[in-house]
């Protein structure tokens, strides 16, 4: 995808052949700044401080973080230590552990001399697979937009999304945005309602992405979605997810549950886009997932650009609480858009994403 007029992925190996580059998403959308990860601790800090975010991208950064650790010390003790440090960076997104387990399982049986090389290779495969899976999600979701477009007879299809499940949250294409990009590129008239997604305002990243791609959109406050649905100004809701549990519950950015409730009340399709790596058959239901509670400063302080400078302003002095995710029950989900097709039943979800 494009940012600042440049075609790029959200993560890359630097020209030196070993350090890893990412965008500092704490600075977006006001400025495009890049970070270089030199060791596993850099990867931990980038994930924990949300310099990088989005479940699939967190997994990719974690995979490269383990490779960076093994570059400095390929022994068993470092492998175990780095794994534990990185896996504890954030608790909710399942892709973090999934990617680390892949790299660990791949290199653990190997001799230390080749572990770092093989860890880099596995991390690269994870990234390439993520791009392919997201493109497949787009192809699976495109017909759903086409069906609504046919009924709209040339009028734009209005899509509401929450948080940033775009290419900045993955390696490329995004999950929720992949069908949107393909629909736009196919000449379908679409318009996206972009939730701001307080407290970190990740919707601003979605708006940045859509603007770079030329997709018509409007940035709205989180509480506007219900009114827009009530007025018939939303045709479908598409969100990403940090984890889908065995029973189909969706763990995603705080506020997703309310969008699902409003969509159900107004008979609007509520669609969840995810790659197979985000399905977690080992966790029975959403209530079994540890919901991350982040620092109160994210709620109490807001950042923005003023005359070319990024400034932070305190909104409240005390009394804040900051749960980062909520749980949308499977019963509120119309369908799951996956890299293996559109799935509209729990049995099919398990059979398709976790065949025995």
DSSP 77: H
Residue whose token pair is 């973090």: 96
Q: How far is CA 175 from the centre of its chain?
A: 7
Question: Read out DSSP for 250-298?
Answer: EEEETTHHHHHHHHHHTT--EEEEE-GGGEETTS-SGGGSPPPB--THH
- Residue 283 is predicted with a pLDDT of 96
Q: What is the mean pLDDT of the chain?
A: 95
- Residue 356 is predicted with a pLDDT of 65
Closest of 169, 148, 162, 157 to residue 11, by C-alpha: 169
Convert the pLDDT of each residue in 237-274 to its tens digit: 999 999 999 999 999 999 999 999 999 999 999 999 99
Rounded CA-CA distance 38/16 in Å is 11
- Residue 345 is predicted with a pLDDT of 84
**Bridge partners, 327 (sequence order):** 251
Rounded CA-CA distance 92/292 in Å is 6
- Structure tokens given for 88: 């504890």
Rounded CA-CA distance 240/187 in Å is 23
What is the torsional sign of CA 24, 176, 95, 64? negative
**Average pLDDT of 297-318?**
87
- pLDDT of residue 355 exceeding 80, the answer is no
- Residue 317 is predicted with a pLDDT of 76
Cβ-in-10-Å burial (0-12, 13-18, 19+) of 134 comes to buried
* Strand stretches in the chain, DSSP E: 2-3, 6-7, 11-13, 20-23, 34-37, 157-161, 190-195, 217-220, 236-239, 243-245, 250-253, 270-274, 279-280, 301-306, 309-314, 325-328, 335-338, 341-343
Convert the pLDDT of each residue in 223-246 to its tens digit: 999 999 999 999 999 999 999 999
pTM, two decimals, is 0.95
Decide: helix, strand or coil at residue 4.
Answer: coil
Convert the pLDDT of each residue in 110-143 to its tens digit: 999 999 999 999 999 999 999 999 999 999 999 9
- Residue 79 is predicted with a pLDDT of 96
Residues 194, 201 contacting (CB under 8 angstroms): no
Residue whose token pair is 């490329």: 172
Convert the pLDDT of each residue in 39-65 to its tens digit: 999 999 999 999 999 999 999 999 999
- Residue 347 is predicted with a pLDDT of 80
Angle at 226 between CA 193 and CA 349, to 5 degrees: 75
Instruction: Quote the radius of gyration of the chain (alpha carbons, Å).
Output: 20
Task: Give me the domains of the chain, ranges plus CATH numbers.
Answer: 2-129 (1.20.120.420), 134-353 (3.40.50.10470)
| 242 catalytically annotated | yes
Convert the pLDDT of each residue in 163-196 to its tens digit: 999 999 999 999 999 999 999 999 999 999 999 9
Residues 46, 226 contacting (CB under 8 angstroms): no
More confidently predicted of 73 and 306: 73
Active-site residue, from 130, 242, 249, 280: 242
Convert the pLDDT of each residue in 309-354 to its tens digit: 888 899 987 788 999 999 999 999 999 999 999 999 878 888 898 7
Cβ-in-10-Å burial (0-12, 13-18, 19+) of 315 comes to exposed
């Amino acid at each position: 995808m494009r940012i600042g007029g440049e075609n790029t992925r959200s993560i890359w190996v630097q020209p030196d052949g070993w350090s890893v580059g990412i965008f500092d998403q704490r600075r977006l959308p006001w400025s495009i700044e890049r970070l270089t990860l030199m060791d596993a601790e850099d990867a931990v800090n980038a994930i924990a401080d949300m310099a990088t975010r989005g479940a699939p991208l967190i997994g990719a950064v974690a995979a490269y973080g383990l490779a960076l650790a093994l570059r400095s010390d390929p022994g068993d003790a470092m492998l175990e230590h780095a794994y534990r440090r990185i896996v504890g960076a954030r608790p909710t997104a399942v892709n973090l552990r999934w990617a680390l387990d892949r790299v660990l399982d791949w290199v653990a049986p190997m001799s230390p001399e080749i572990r770092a090389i093989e860890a880099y290779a596995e991390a690269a495969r994870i990234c390439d697979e993520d791009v392919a899976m997201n493109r497949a999600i787009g192809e699976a979701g495109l017909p759903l937009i086409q069906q609504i477009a046919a009924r709209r007879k040339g009028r734009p299809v209005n899509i509401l999304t929450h948080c940033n499940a775009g290419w900045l949250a993955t390696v490329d294409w995004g999950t929720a945005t992949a069908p949107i990009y393909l629909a736009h590129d196919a000449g379908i008239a679409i318009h996206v309602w972009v939730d701001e997604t307080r407290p970190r305002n990740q919707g601003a990243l979605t708006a940045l992405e859509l603007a770079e791609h030329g997709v018509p959109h409007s940035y709205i406050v989180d509480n506007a979605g219900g009114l827009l649905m009530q007025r018939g100004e939303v045709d479908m809701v598409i969100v990403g997810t940090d984890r889908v549990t065995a029973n189909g519950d969706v763990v995603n950015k705080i506020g997703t549950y309310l969008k699902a409730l409003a969509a159900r009340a107004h008979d609007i399709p509520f669609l969840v886009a995810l790659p197979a790596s985000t399905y977690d058959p080992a966790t029975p239901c959403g209530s079994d997932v540890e919901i991350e509670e982040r620092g109160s400063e994210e709620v109490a302080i807001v950042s923005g650009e003023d005359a070319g400078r990024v400034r932070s302003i305190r909104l409240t002095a005390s009394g804040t609480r900051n749960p980062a995710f909520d749980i949308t029950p499977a019963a509120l989900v119309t369908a799951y858009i996956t890299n293996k097709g559109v799935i509209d039943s729990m049995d099919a979800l398990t059979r398709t994403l976790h065949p025995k």
